[in-house]
Amino acid sequence: MSKRIFQVSSFTPLQQADGVLAAGSFAGLKPGASTDILKIGKVLLQGQASSSAVTATMLARSSTLAITPTALGLPNSDGPANIAATAVTNAPVPFVAAATAPNRSPAVGIPRLNLTFNAFGGIIQWQTNPGSEEEWVAVGNTTTSNSETVLSSANVGTAGLIGADIFYEIL
Partner 1 sequence: MTKGVGGYLLIDHRASPGLPEDVALLAGYDPRFTGEGKVYEVNTMTCSHCGSSVVPNPMRIRPRAKCLECDNREGHYICDGCDFIRSQPGYVHTPIRKTMDDAKDGKTLQGSPPKLLMP
List C-alpha distances in Å: 110 to 61, 135, 139, 166. 7, 15, 14, 20
Q: Count CB neighbours of 162 within 10 A.
A: 28
CB of 147 to partner 1, least distance (A): 8
With CB under 8 A as the contact rule, the residue among 71, 75, 87, 134 that binds partner 1 is: 134
23 CA to centre of own chain: 14
Shorter beta-carbon distance to partner 1: residue 76 or 105? 105
**Could you say whether residue 109 binds partner 1 (CB under 8 A)?**
yes
List C-alpha distances in Å: 165 to 14, 20, 33, 35. 18, 23, 22, 25
**Could you say whether residue 98 binds partner 1 (CB under 8 A)?**
no
Judged by the rule CB under 8 A, the positions of this chain that interact with partner 1 are 34-35, 37, 47, 52, 54, 56, 108-118, 120-129, 132, 134-137, 139-140, 142-146, 156-157, 171
